[in-house]
Amino acid sequence: MYVKPKKHLGQHFLVNPQIAEEIASIIKPSDCDVLIEIGPGTGVLTEFLYDNWSDRLLCYEVDGQSIKYLIQQKWALGLKLREQDFLQANLNTIAEGKSIGLVGNYPYNISTEIAFRAIESNGVISHFGGMFQKEVAERFCAAHGSRTYGVTSVLLQAYYDCKYLFTVDKEEFNPPPKVQSGVMICTRKNGDLGCEYKTLRTLVKAAFSQRRKTLNNALKSLQGVGFELPAEYGPKRAEQVSVDEFIRLAHDWDLNKK
Give me the DSSP letters along 121-134: TTTSEEEEEEEEEH
Residue 250 resides in a domain: yes
Statement to judge: residues 54 and 177 lie in one domain: yes
Residue 168 lies in a domain: yes
DSSP 8-state symbol, 160: E
Parts of the chain with a pLDDT under 70 = 258
| CATH code of residue 234 | 1.10.8.100
Boundary-marking domain end, from 188, 220, 247: 188
pLDDT at residue 74, rounded to an integer: 95
The count of structural domains within the chain is 2
The SS3 of residue 166 is: strand
Residue 2 belongs to some domain of the structure: no
Residue 189 has a pLDDT of 95
pLDDT per position as a tens digit, 151-165 = 999 999 999 999 999
How far apart CA 120 and CA 20 sit, in angstroms, is 28
Do 119 and 242 have their domain in common? no
Dihedral sign for Cα 114, 115, 119, 120, please.
negative
Same-domain pairing of 215 and 246: yes
Among residues 129, 155, 188, which one ends one of the domains? 188
Which of residues 188, 217, 234 is at a domain's end?
188
pLDDT given for residue 11 in this prediction: 79
The pairing of strands 57-60 and 80-82 is parallel
Q: Report residue 255: phi and psi, to 5°.
A: -65, -40
Domain assignment present for 1: no
Give the pLDDT of residue 203.
97
Q: Which residues contact 187 (CB under 8 A, 6 or more apart)?
A: 31, 126, 127, 160, 161
In the sheet that 80-82 helps form, which strands lie side by side, from edge to edge?
80-82, 57-60, 34-38, 100-103, 125-133, 181-188, 160-168
Q: What is the pLDDT of residue 16?
A: 96
Q: What is the CATH number of the domain that holds 170?
A: 3.40.50.150
Are 219 and 156 within one domain? no
Same domain membership, residue 65 and residue 27: yes
Determine if the peptide bond prior to 29 is cis (ω within 30°). no
Tell me whether residue 204 is in a domain: yes
- Nearest alpha-carbon partner for 195 in 115, 256, 253: 253
Q: Where are the alpha helices (DSSP H) in the chain?
A: 17-24, 44-53, 64-71, 91-95, 111-119, 134-141, 151-159, 197-209, 215-218, 243-257
Pair 172, 226 in one domain: no
d(CA 177, CA 226): 46
Domain residue limits at 244: 197-257
Taking the CA atoms of 242, 150, 62 and 40 in sequence, report the sign of the dihedral they define. Answer: negative
Specify whether 78 is located in the same domain as 184.
Answer: yes
Asked if residue 60 belongs to a domain, the reply is yes
13 and 68, same domain (yes or no): yes
pLDDT digit string, tens, across residues 199-243: 999 999 999 998 889 999 999 989 878 899 999 999 999 999 999
